[in-house]
Amino acid sequence: MNGRISTLLVALLFGLVMAGVAFANNGPATIVLEAGKKGNVTFEHHKHQEKIQCGECHHGPGHSAYKEGMEIQKCEACHHKGSSEVPKKLQKPMNAFHKNCKDCHKEHKADGAPTKCSGCHKK
């Protein structure tokens, strides 16, 4: 290959890698999870990310372990009625959320993690 072209290609690749680092997608800082009449849950995503590994909450198809850089989908993409890969009990988004959020909060009650309905659901 022509030397100048390969130098250019290397520079281009390097640029792409750096852009990937700069734009690592951590998702929104705050996410409002809608829960109808019960009252929406304002979830401080960024605050949770400071102390908790992404893989505590995110996983891939077939419940595969979280890997850095993998595509992160909304929970409902898989946790929905009729899903072929998710057992019935976890198809309802509420059940997937409650299991994920509440199990950890029960363990971290002493650190101020809310366990009461009104600690998460605000009307």
Contacting residues toward ligand HEC, per CB under 6 A: 25-27, 31, 33-36, 38, 41, 43-45, 47-49, 52, 54, 56-63, 72-79, 85-87, 90, 93-94, 96-102, 104-105, 108, 111-115, 117, 119-121
Cβ-based nearer residue to ligand HEC, 9 or 73: 73
**Smallest separation, CB 10 to ligand HEC (Å):** 28
Torsion-angle region of 84 (φ positive above 0: left; ψ -120 to 50: alpha; else: beta): alpha
Cβ-based nearer residue to ligand HEC, 82 or 111: 111
CB 110 within 8 A of CB 96: no
Q: In whole angstroms, what is the distance from residue 66 CA to residue 26 CA?
A: 13
CB 65 within 8 A of CB 58: no
Residue of minimal Cβ distance to ligand HEC: 27
CA dist 19 → 12, 14, 25, 100, 102 (Å): 11, 9, 11, 32, 36
Q: In whole angstroms, what is the distance from residue 30 CA to residue 70 CA?
A: 21
Cβ-based nearer residue to ligand HEC, 45 or 81: 45
**Smallest separation, CB 65 to ligand HEC (Å):** 10
Cβ-based nearer residue to ligand HEC, 4 or 31: 31
